[in-house]
Structure 1
Amino acid sequence: MSSYEMKTVLPGGLAEVKAHTVEALKAQGFGILSEIDVQKTLREKLGLEYEPYLILGACNPNLARQALDIDRSIGLLLPCNVVLRQLVGQVEVSILDPEAMFAVTPEATRQRLEPLAQEARGRLSHALQTLERTL
């Protein structure tokens, strides 16, 4: 695991794990704003074959609003990406760590964002733990 992600590997197929992931995120106040099918895009645009790979754009509206109230430019770092990657008989679920994401902001901004980043990290971590218990 890298310093900028939180992840787990779960048994099952992409569709099943995606459904559980969306529900676990929803329980923590996150909605899915976007979905990018990387496998489909690379096949259509570049003629490349790639494993099933989805990028979900997850957002907690209340936390996003608070972050935007601190720094309107924070929208450049939103939403939080959740990656689902099909492995053999398993799916890797990776979530961008909000604390790492906000580390690129200026020091004064980062200090004000820190409580929000910690709350978001806790909620996302809880969603991963729920997935591990569910699947």
Structure 2
Amino acid sequence: MTTYTMSVQVDRPYDEAVEATRAALTDQGFGILTEIDLAATMKAKLDVDLPPQVILGACRPPLAYEAIQVDPSIAAVLPCNVVVRALDDATTLVEAFDPDAMMGLAGAGALDSVAADAKQRLTAALAALTTSTQED
């Protein structure tokens, strides 16, 4: 199976992990453009229960602008989705769409540096979540 996400498991409750994820993304220059409460949406639309989880649409405007200048169609895969999902009461999974996988969809070339920058920042944000958990 092809891996298309980068993830980290954190030893903290869901609500704390969501706030820590927001902070880690902000520290890397991302803003949150969209937020989808996936569990609430599935309950409302399909009457099914999912663990608490949210999709955060993270965007770093300089990277988005650079990518759109190279290939305007790349906007179809923006912003970068980051999912925060409860595994149990004390453990949460945080995963982000891997920019390398995005480039696989768009094709290699001029967007490589944008993908590399985005991946470096998302990787740092995910790493900060495990570091802050160990320091708490």
TM superposition score category, shorter chain reference: over 0.9
Q: 1:3-62 CA deviation, whole Å, 9 max, x = no partner? A: 211101001221111111111111111010001111100111111111111111000000
Q: Return the alpha-carbon distance in structure 1 between the equivalents of residues 11 and 130 of structure 2.
A: 9
Unaligned runs of 5+ in 2: none
Aligned counterpart, 2:10 = 10
Which of 94, 100, 124 is equivalent to 2:122?
A: 124
Identical aligned pairs, as a percentage?
Answer: 40
When the two chains are superposed, the root-mean-square deviation of aligned CA atoms in Å is 1.3
Q: Return the alpha-carbon distance in structure 2 between the equivalents of residues 126 and 38 of structure 1.
A: 25
Aligned counterpart, 2:111 = 113
Normalization by structure 1: what TM-score? 0.94
Unaligned runs of 5+ in 1: none
Q: Taking structure 1 as reference, are residues 129 and 2 closer, same or farther at Cα in structure 2, changes over 3 Å only? A: farther
The answer to which of 44-53 and 2-11 deviates more is: 2-11
Q: 1:90-115 CA deviation, whole Å, 9 max, x = no partner? A: 00000111111121114xxx210001
Q: Return the alpha-carbon distance in structure 2 between the equivalents of residues 5 and 36 of structure 1.
A: 18
Normalization by structure 2: what TM-score? 0.93
Aligned counterpart, 2:102 = 101
Q: How many residues are matched?
A: 132
Aligned counterpart, 2:81 = 81
Aligned counterpart, 1:33 = 33
